[in-house]
Amino acid sequence: MTRYDLALIGFGGVNRALAELIVERGHDLTAELGFGLRVVAITDLRAGTLVRLDGIDLAPLLAAAELNFSGMAGGSPEPRNEWVIRDVPADIIAEATFTNPADGEPAVSHVRWALESGKHVCTTNKGPAALHGRALRELATRNGVRFEFEGAVMSGTPVLRTARRMFGGLTVSRVEGVMNGTSNYILGRLEKGMDLAAAVAEAQALGYAEADPTADVEGYDVQLKLMILANEVFGASLTRADIRCVGISGITGQDVRDAAGKGLRWKLVGSAARRPDGTVEAWVAPVALPDGHPLAGVSGLMNAVAFHTDLLGTVAVSGPGAGRTETAYALLSDIISIHERCGAKAAAMEGASRV
């Protein structure tokens, strides 16, 4: 039975939820997927670093009210991210740290160190794929490993994998998506009578919006996700400067309610289309969509992407765009993809060599 040793970089909500999946469903997953998972290292900004090459017992960590690795066997008080990524013998690095959207750090460095060390990496961070996607994919190819980032666009909803694997033989002319649940929630509250400031404050109180909601309200989060989606679907090399970006801060509650009275729903939409000359244009802007539009009915924290194709017309993929368990599933789906593309192939080659 194949087993993958994991190093978890960051032990906040997402990697903690991945650890919960391993503890609660590990045996079932092994039976279903044909491989096992063992965590051999964890780093965390507050808890420090924990390394156990024979496998970390995750259950006590998940039950603890507060973690401090320094008092444990194999533990130290500092988050030794680079050392763990480069030197600890793990097969896959699961990267889920807080990252600056302007430069993608520290996640970009984490991914680069992993790939340079010949380790597969999966990340939920947008920065590495959006800002350095092509260079990191090339680095992964040179080192014979995988760089996976399904959770960077729509959390656990497999929009990237759907586009890669299911659209063979189709020509996609345009993609458009509602890819930020926070802004979508806020627009829904405006439709119910709130003003923007009150709707933002409510979203913050519920944990949907950060203390600084700029990335959600001004569309920058969608801009990064659209970069990833457009570059994957169209093979483009868009940068942030290539994507016009307008957020929802200029939309009033009256605008939203007036549109609703006309059968229109305001949504913050990220769109990308291939021009006749083969180049790609992309933009983020609030749009009043008619009720029949495939994105008009996307409500609350849900996300959706519509692909406009030549043979099937419009194909929409919708699902949760946030949530710790949902995003942890994205990491699991990345690990499954790594196994399908690399682990199963290696096992088959090893079996053939024994014949």
Based on the residue annotation, tell me whether 267 is a catalytic residue of this protein: no
Please list the ranges in the chain whose pLDDT falls under 70: 343-355
The CATH number covering residue 296 comes to 3.30.360.10
pLDDT for residue 353:
43
pTM of the shown model: 0.92
What digits encode the pLDDT tens for the residues 25-39?
989 999 999 999 999
pLDDT for residue 98:
87
Residue 82 sits in the same domain as residue 188: no
Residue 334 sits in the same domain as residue 280: no
pLDDT for residue 123:
97
Total count of domains within the chain: 2
Q: How far apart are CA 61 and CA 309, in angstroms?
A: 47
Continuous H helices in the chain = 13-33, 58-63, 81-87, 107-116, 126-142, 151-154, 159-166, 181-191, 196-205, 214-217, 220-234, 253-261, 324-338, 344-354
For residue 36, what are its two tokens? 């096992």
Residue 135 sits in the same domain as residue 12: yes
pLDDT for residue 349:
43
Residue 78 sits in the same domain as residue 187: no
Q: How far apart are CA 71 and CA 189, in angstroms?
A: 47
pLDDT for residue 79:
96
DSSP one-letter code for 209: S
pLDDT for residue 240:
93
Residue 298 sits in the same domain as residue 179: yes
Q: How far apart are CA 201 and CA 188, in angstroms?
A: 14
pLDDT for residue 321:
86
Domain of 224 in residue numbering reads as: 159-320
Residue 122 sits in the same domain as residue 202: no
Burial track 75-86 (b if 16+ CB lie within 10 A, e otherwise): beeebbbebbbe
Name the catalytic one among 192, 225, 262, 267.
225
H/E run at residue 40:
strand 35-44
Between the CA atoms of 141, 329, 247 and 245, what dihedral angle is there, to the nearest 10 degrees?
A: 10
